Amino acid sequence: MMMGKVFTWKEVVRKRVPQPDDFVLTIDNLRKAFVPEESIIGAIAFGSAVRGDCNLRSDIDCFVLYDHAREHEAFGVIQSVTAMANLRRVPLTCVPCDTLVSATHMHHIGSSLREHLEVSGRAGGLLKGDPLRHIASVRPHEEEVEEYLRFKLYGIQEAFGESQTFSEEKLASYLKKLLEAPMHVARKVLAHRGLLEGDSKAEVCIFYRKMDYALSDHLERLVSLDALYTEELREQLRCPHEKGYRMMLQKILSNSEDVLSFVRANSMFLAATAR
């Protein structure tokens, strides 16, 4: 059950798609760039590339804590590794945080992301130092998750309303968010209820169903659409067929209301079971 990037037709035809070795080389490059750089206090890579179950749609996320007094040097390194990842067709997103903000409650590392980083660090994603010890404690899971769901629901509603005007690149980005939203929401709900065990997508589906929640089938149906897109992408790389590929993208887009329904239902579930 892989989730990740949705490609434009141009990227498919040009085979601008990463290979498994590209992820290994990118993480190795991150470590080599960050370790000797004094402006980088610590870094943790997270996601499927760290777990070793990445595929051609995967990306790499990396939390980077840097010295606020050496911001120019730090961002020079971050820009460099991002550009090198792009040359290998690997989508790399660095999540930077400076040491001045990290010591206050104004940083953006919520409790669920912090736990995600801790798990990734233990799984081999720790690239440098121990950046989490510099991060101040934050508000409870409940507040963070509720805010996340509010903004997720609004974000999808807003984008769905504008989707007919999107460029190919912006549409691909929106479709990626549509495919990822159900799993992200399910993970947040489990964290909110204190029921999240494990970090993989398969484990999220298992524990979401164990919660005995009526939306389990809904989640698995939406996740299956993601798997269907991955199969279509693999076939398109073997034998490109523009009409078939665009039909697949339209199929994902047509599920906008279904994804909205899932996010809304989970929001109402948390509202009804608020402690």
Token pair for 18:
């990463």
- Residue 65: give its domain's CATH number: 3.30.460.10
How far apart CA 195 and CA 198 sit, in angstroms, is 10
> With the CA atoms of 54, 55, 58 and 63 taken in that order, what torsion angle do they form, in degrees rounded to the nearest 10?
20
Q: Among 51-60, 80-89, 196-205, 240-249, where is mean pLDDT lowest? A: 196-205
- Of 134, 158, 185, at which residue does a domain stop? 134
Q: Among 7-16, 65-74, 167-176, 207-216, where is mean pLDDT lowest? A: 207-216
In a domain, 4, yes or no: no
Q: How confident is the model at residue 75 (pLDDT cuts 50, 70, 90)?
A: very high
Q: Examine the pLDDT at 192 and tell me if it is beyond 90.
A: no
Q: Indicate if 262 and 152 belong to the same structural domain.
A: yes
Q: Indicate if 124 and 165 belong to the same structural domain.
A: no
Q: Indicate if 55 and 169 belong to the same structural domain.
A: no
Instruction: Give the DSSP H or E segment for 181.
Output: helix 168-192
Q: Indicate if 183 and 264 belong to the same structural domain.
A: yes
HSE of 35 in the Cβ direction (CA atoms, 13 Å)?
Answer: 8
More confident residue, 273 or 96: 96
At residue 93, φ and ψ (nearest 5 deg) are: -120, 115
Q: Indicate if 186 and 252 belong to the same structural domain.
A: yes
Q: Examine the pLDDT at 3 and tell me if it is beyond 70.
A: no
Task: State the pLDDT at residue 199.
Answer: 64
> What is the number of structural domains in the chain?
2
Q: Among 7-21, 67-81, 101-115, 186-200, where is mean pLDDT lowest? A: 186-200
Q: Examine the pLDDT at 275 and tell me if it is beyond 70.
A: no
- Residue 227: give its domain's CATH number: 1.20.120
Question: 253, 171 in Cβ contact below 8 A?
Answer: yes
Task: State the pLDDT at residue 229.
Answer: 97
How far apart CA 199 and CA 51 sit, in angstroms, is 10
Residues of the domain holding 223? 139-272
pLDDT > 90: what percent of the chain?
73
Token pair for 176:
């990626």
> Nearest 5 degrees, angle CA 170-CA 171-CA 174?
90
- Of 94, 119, 134, at which residue does a domain stop? 134
- pTM of the predicted model, to two decimals? 0.87
Task: State the pLDDT at residue 272.
Answer: 84
Q: Examine the pLDDT at 1 and tell me if it is beyond 60.
A: no
